[in-house]
Amino acid sequence: MNIIKARNLACPIDGDPLDSREKQLVCEHGHVFDVARQGYVNLLPVQHKRSKHPGDCKEMVSARTRFLGSGYYAPVANKLAEIISAQITGDEESCLLDAGCGEGYYLDTVFRYLGDSRRGNDISFIGLDISKPAITEAARRNKQITWLVGTNRQPPVTPGSVAIILCVFGFQSFDGFNKILKTGGKVILVEPGPDHLKELRAVIYNEVRKSGPPDIASAEAMGFSLLDTQQLQFSTGVIDREQINNLLVMTPHLYRATQAGRAAAAQLQELDLTVDVVFRILEKT
Ligand SMILES: C[S@@+](CC[C@H](N)C(=O)[O-])C[C@H]1O[C@@H](n2cnc3c(N)ncnc32)[C@H](O)[C@@H]1O
């Protein structure tokens, strides 16, 4: 794989292509975006924000970095990398975009996996997240990926320029995905399966629901078709109290739990968890 720089960035204000100049990106109408000291670019104009500090906060990002860094979810990242590798066929240039990439753990794993393969394709990697703390952390992780603060609702890349979008436990916007994907391009959704973290949910909720990923009728109505569904289940082995806390902080569970649920979670010393993840591959037809 030959890693190339993303050449399809677009101005979030008027959609014009962005050119790179020194430490800035500039569109032909004169909108200018600085490359931050850490190497990312903020392409989220104030008019696209729904709150002052959108997305995951610093505390959630740090908890996720500590938890994912422990390797408990490595089988998920590796399977994602295998799925993506199988989707890159032919030898044309491809752009891979992680929509809601968080602190970059999954995209970085995919980057390394494809980098180790012997294929000769030119690939550019873009990690997009609405959270500035998440992108700041991601930019520390891998300097060869283009990291952008921006929204999945209006991804700041040119229409029809992306071959594969991955969305891992992320905020899905098929309107936004549809605009930037090529015809024949893929969306890879990674979502919790019915048994995901069931042991933890049994502690913090009164009732443990066994629901799988949501239906994709709205995506199908837009012209996406489901090509394949794969499931991965494994057990983490014993997780200690500190990592349980990281897991709770990085997911919505802590905020959804009742007060009694939170108190019960605080008493946990260790837990052996089921990870149940569903991978769905959709094609833009
Ligand atoms: C549950 S986290 C998953 C992060 C990462 N994909 C992972 O699995 O480690 C969801 C992420 O979506 C981001 N997010 C929420 N709304 C978003 C939007 N409209 N556009 C882009 N990212 C968004 C959050 O900031 C957060 O980083």
Instruction: Tell me how far apart the terminal alpha carbons of the chain are, to the nearest angstrom.
Output: 26
Whole-number Cα distances in Å, 237 to 59, 72, 129 = 25, 9, 31
Q: Tell me what the pLDDT averaged over the chain comes to.
A: 94
> Rounded CA gap, 102 and 127, in Å?
8
Give the pLDDT confidence score for residue 141 in this predicted structure. 97
Calpha distance 47→34 (Å, rounded): 18
Q: Is the shortest distance between the CB of 247 and ligand 1 below 6 Å? A: no
* Residue 22 DSSP label: T
Residue 110 has pLDDT above 70, yes or no: yes
**pLDDT score, position 51:** 87
**Mean pLDDT of the 184-203 span:** 96
Question: Residue 252 has what DSSP assignment?
Answer: T
Asked if pLDDT for residue 210 goes beyond 90, the answer is: no
Quick one: what percent of the chain has pLDDT higher than 70? 100
Question: CA–CA separation, 193 vs 147, rounded Å?
Answer: 29
CB 73 near ligand 1, within 6 Å: no
Alpha helix stretches (DSSP H) within 29-119: 58-69, 74-87, 105-116
Q: Is the pLDDT of residue 138 over 70?
A: yes
Average pLDDT over residues 183-189: 97
Nearest to 43 by CA among 8, 68, 77: 8
The architecture that CATH gives domain 10-284 is 3-Layer(aba) Sandwich (3.40)
Query: pLDDT value at position 118?
Result: 67
**CA-closest residue to ligand 1 atom 10:** 170
Share of the chain above pLDDT 90, in %: 83
- Residue 52 is predicted with a pLDDT of 85
Question: Looking at ligand 1, which atom is closest to the CA of residue 61?
Answer: 27
Q: pLDDT value at position 120?
A: 78
Backbone dihedral region of 223: left (phi > 0), alpha (psi from -120 to 50 degrees) or beta?
Answer: left
Domain ranges of the chain: 10-284
